[in-house]
Structure formats: structure tokens, C-alpha cells
Structure 1
Amino acid sequence: MENKHQVPVTVLTGFLGAGKTTLLNRILTEQHGQKYAVIVNEFGEQGIDNDLVVDADEEIFEMNNGCICCTVRGDLIRILSGLMKRADKLDAIIVETTGLADPAPVAQTFFVDQDVANKTKLDAIVTVADAVHLSSQIEDHHEAEEQIAFGDVILLNKIDLVKDENIDVVTKRIRKINPFAKIIKTTKCGAPLKEILNLDAFNLKRILEVEPDFLESDHDHEHDDDVTSLSFVSDKPLDMEKFQNWFGKLLQTKGQDIMRTKGILDFKGENDRYVFQGVHMLMDASPMGKWPDDKERSSRLVFIGRNLETMNLKEGFEACKSE
């Protein structure tokens, strides 16, 4: 039963590289007067997203090396239960899932765990979709289709990189999977926050039509076994030219199998730390400001994809270290 003390929860989902962290940073930096707790989940041993989230007053909780919909779901319940002890200081909670998460078990948590259900209320599932890659992602990964199917709001992002006729094709594909969701076309997730937060949009009846066993507690989710992650760390600065040459050649030859790359990089001779983002053949590295005084300078790089063990990634990364 809903009550006035329930804290609304927004689940941000969407496939690898769609722009979830970009949206989260907008939420945390715009002047909306709300106090959020943020739970960030990553697929891989090395946590990167927590460093990509802007410095803000909000509390950031990070769960690594697992998908929020399976291996670390107990952690999600534990963190939510802890937050509820301070519910009077929160306006809302935002859960950003890994790009490989099926949103069904995540949403299910807010109904099948009684303590969580009593104190929180699932406000909406917001799906960020990559207009460039969505069609192929749906073909190759059932998670991408599930993320569209469960979305109450779908941000069709990166439309500046796609021709109008292709945007129409992608929009029709979304509509075929989910005829009910509100679709907002965006560049860099630039949608008004009033169309994303505090919507009271989650419709359990519709979800039960999509997935009749949604409320069954043994709802399991298995990832494609061939999708894995590899993480690398270096306390020694990297040579920028060596890194660019290595990564450029890597994407040219193996880009189709590299679904997602992200990292925080320390380049020799640079005062700034660099954020590195990649989705298939697309990549970008840009300075994100000086290294914090309380952080040791180091480079961390995460790959998510197929056949990673055949790419000699460790050797390539090691060869990028400065002399």
C-alpha cells in the first residue's frame, strides 16, 4: 500500500554507451532544489562511473563487478534499506543500472521485498536509447529489447548523429516493442527534467502484460555468456601518442566486438585527468579537470565485449606506459 512516506525511485537504464551517465550528470547539476541519493552499478571489476559522475552534494553508492539485476541485487536491497533510515532527508533515489541489465528484476525489487516496497515507490523506468546503434543492439542482445519494453520514458539519444529518415526507422522499431512509452528525441540527453523525474509513471498492470511472471521472486536473468569484461590499471602515466595509436588500430580491427570502453586516464605531462569513452567504432577522450588532491594519479580502463581475450589487450595497454 502506498503512503506519503514512500521515497520515489527512478531507474535509469539503457544499453552500453547510450548516455545514462550524461543524463545522470544533468540531473545532479541542474538547479531543481531536490536532494537525491544515487546508486550506480557497473559491469566490471574496476569502477569508472563513480568518477564520471560530477561532484555534487548527492550521495553516490557504487556497486562493482556484477549486474544489478542478478549478482549484486542483494547489495541493492541493502543500500536501499540503509537509505530508508534517512528517508526524511531525501526527495528521491536514482538507480543507474549497468548497460547489460535487464530492468525487470531491478523493478521487481520494489515490489517483492516487503521492506523496500513499504518505504519506496518506483516512480518510472527511464530508458536511454542510442539512436546510432539501437537497431543492431536489439538484434544482438535481448537486454536491449527488454530495456525498451520496460521503459515508461524513452530518451532516443544522439539524434544529431543520425539522418532524419533513420530516426523514423528507429522510432518505429521502438514503437513496435513498446507502444505506450513516451519517446523524447535528444542530443546529449537534453530533455527537460520535468519529463523524466517525479512522473508517477510506472504502470504495474502494463508490465504484467509484457511479462506475466514479473512478480515471481525466482525471476532469473542470464547474460549472454560471450559478453565479458576486462579491466586494467596503471600507476605509471601513459604516453598519449602511444595510447591513441594503439586504440585507433584496435577499433579499426576489433571495434565490432568491443561493445563499450570507458576509463579515467593519466597521461604523462598532462595536469588534467582524461575521461575516455567508446562505443564500438566511436571513441572520445577529453580532459575532465585536475586530479583531486585526495586521489592518487592512475589510469583505469574497462572493456566490455566479445572475444576480448583474443585481442592482447593487456599487452597493448602495458605498451602504452610512458618510458
Structure 2
Amino acid sequence: MEPVPVTVITGFLGSGKTTLINHILTGQHGKKIAIIEVGVDDGLVVETKEEIFEMNNGCICCTVRGDLIRILHKLLKRKHRFDAILIETTGLADPAPVAQTFFVDDDLKDLVRLDAILTVVDAKHILQHLDDAQIEEGAENEAVEQLAFADRILLNKVDLVSQKEKAAVVKRIKGINAAAEIIETVNSRADLDRVLGIRAFSLDRILEEEPDFLDEGAEHSHSSDVTSVGIDADGNLSFAKAQRWLSKLLQDKGADIFRSKGILCFEGSDDKHVFQGVHMLLAFSSSADGAGRPWGPDEKRVNRLVFIGRNLDRDEINASFRSCLVGSAPAA
């Protein structure tokens, strides 16, 4: 049986997350969807219990202040199978811990799959949130991080901004995350088929996307320390060099790399190799494992990678990667 797709939803206060969830819980969309609201214990709660509400349309809403894995297993044991599960990271700026659950928990792998990270954005106020100075030294800008993690971005409240203002918002978002698709909405009304079950975390999906999932034409943000770094390099890689390069990059910068994905071609192999990651955790696959088709005899071999993170040195990352190509000189 196909694993149930799980979407992690994040977004700044007032962005329209609750409105989106209410649409899903009350809409006549014909889908059985479970929504899990993951709260953050404030240290004062001695005993909490889960609340599970069943809606008239068959959807489920529950609040969790504890073990996400346990509640997932509990929901999956219910009589009727869900079409999708949506996890709202209430109070969490960083959805990585929730996303990483699906990388590391073997018991869940056959039952559920991480489908996408969805960020809801308030078009009217997002620039203000992005420009907000850090409250204290070392504090992170939550709005920037939420955009950086996204596979898909719901640009909500577009009816409250002019075309010029909207263009400025889109330009700024693309400067932080050039890889995420932006869907414009009013009152958080979106076609569910565009936000649920989109397989953004599928390794197969990377091979099905447009050859350039890196938007090289996107403006790079200079006002934010979070940006997208794309690599587009022809030729075959030395497996040993590329392995060392990726290991060192994640060792040195893993905490600052929010998202990564790529297609790689290695010397001596006709298989396409793909990876997808959150921080230091990566999942790998190849056409040998059934992930897409191998390189064709006349197909141009191109390595395509994207890293979204903080304080990434675009030139250094590109140069050091290219030193892994067969026949290239070592990086300086």
C-alpha cells in the first residue's frame, strides 16, 4: 500500500495558516485529511492530553504536545485510511525537527512519506517581517527561515497589495528561495491538488521536474544572509571526490543549510543519482533503484544542485564542487 503523504505547514502569525486549515477541515473536497497541530511545551504544563476532533467531512483535527511519532501511529491505526496528513508546526519557526522525523524513523517509512514543506505568507506584511531587525544578537529571523525551508509558498492576501508591491514581494522571496513554486491566493483558498500530494520530497520527483529546478534567473537577495546557491556543471564526477566534498560541506555548513537537493552523474555509471536533504540529513537514490531512468546514450550529462541556507559562499561552493569533476584541477 502506498504510504500516506504528509505535508508540513509553517508560516508567520497572521499569514493565513488557520484560514487554510479551516478550508480543509470544512471543505467538500472529497478527501480524508488528518491535521495535526504540533505545539511547543512551555515547561509549565505538567500533564497534557491530545484532543481529536472528527469533522463532518471525515477530516480529523488533533493537537499534539508530545510524541509526534506516537500520534501518527495512532491515526494510521484508524479504520479509514487518510488521503493526506497535514502537520502544522504551531510555535515552531524551524520545521526541520518535524521533517527530519521522516528521514530517521524506520517504523514510519512504510506507512507515511514526507510530501512537502508548505509556507503560508502574508503578501501585505512579509517584507516588514523580513526586514525586522533581530531582537537580540544570535536570534534568527523566523520569516526568512520559513521561506528557506519551503517546497511551495502560498502567497496569501494578494488582493491587499498592488501589482508593483506583489512583484517586489516575489522578487524578495525568490532571492531567499529560488527553488520553491509560489502560488498566489486570496483568503488562503488554494486548489488542494497544488499543495497536497505534490511529491516535492520524492527523489523520483527531482528527475521529473523541469531540467532546471534551479531558477538561475532569480534575483539574489543582498539584504538577507539566507539565499539559494545553484550549481549547474556539465560532465562526470569522481565518486570519491564528490563524496568527500559533500561530507565536508555538510560537516562545515550543515547547520546553516536548510534545504538541499540535486542530480549527479558519476564516472563509470549511466545511472542518475539524486539526493534531497534537510540540514545534515540526506536521502539518496538512483535510477538503479527505480528513481527515474538512466542517462541516455546521447543525453547531455549535467549535474544540478541547489542549497538554500545562511551565509553560503556561492563562489567557493561552486568552485569546490567543480574540482570534483573528472579531469578538473583540485580546488585552490
Shift of 1:80: 0.9
Aligned to 2:59: 58
Q: Which residue of 2 aligns with 1:162?
A: 161
- Partner of 1:80: helix, strand, or coil? helix
SS at match of 2:124: coil
Task: Tell me the SS of whatever aligns to 2:260.
Answer: helix
After TM superposition, give the deviation of residue 53 of structure 1 in Å: 11
1:15 corresponding residue in structure 2: 12
Q: Which amino acid aligns with 1:166?
A: E
Instruction: Give the TM-score taking structure 1 as reference length.
Output: 0.55
User: 2:10 is matched by which residue type in structure 1?
Assistant: T
Contact conserved, 2:117 with 2:150, CA < 8 A, in 1? yes
Report what 1:256 is aligned to.
Answer: none
* 1:95 corresponds to 2:87: yes
Query: Which residue of 104, 110, 125 maps to 2:117?
Result: 125
Structure 1 residue 153, shift from structure 2 partner = 1.3
Contact 1:14–1:127 at 8 Å: present in 2 too?
Answer: yes
**2:99 is matched with which residue: 107, 127, 137?**
107
The alpha-carbon distance between structure 1 residues 116 and 133, as it changes in their structure 2 partners (threshold 3 A), is same
Aligned twin of 2:25: 28
Please tell me whether the aligned partners of residues 14 and 99 of structure 1 are also in contact (alpha carbons under 8 angstroms): no
Separation in 2 of the partners of 1:214 and 1:95?
20
8 A Cα contact 1:21 1:53, kept in partner: no
Closer, same or farther: CA 159–104 of 1 in aligned 2, 3 Å: same
- Whole-Å Cα distance in 2 between the matches of residues 52 and 185 of structure 1? 30
Larger Cα-atom Rg: 2
Unaligned runs of 5+ in 2: 133-139, 207-212, 214-258, 262-276, 284-332
* 1:25 to partner: Cα distance: 1.4
Q: Which residue of 1 aligns with 2:326?
A: none
Q: Secondary structure at the match of 1:89?
A: coil
Over 3 Å counting, the alpha-carbon distance change for 1:94 and 1:137 in structure 2 is: same
TM-score (normalised: structure 2): 0.54
* 1:55 to partner: Cα distance: 6.0
Quick one: distance in 1 between partners of 2:142 and 2:167?
Answer: 22
The alignment-based identity, stated in percent, is: 49
Which one scores higher on RCO, CA 8 angstroms, separation ≥ 6?
1
| Residue number in structure 2 paired with 1:208 | 260
The alignment's C-alpha RMSD in Å is 3.1
Deviation at 1:35, TM superposition (A): 1.0
Runs of 5+ in structure 1 lacking a partner? 65-71, 217-323
Give the Å deviation of 1:29. Answer: 2.3
Give 1:100 deviation, angstroms.
3.5
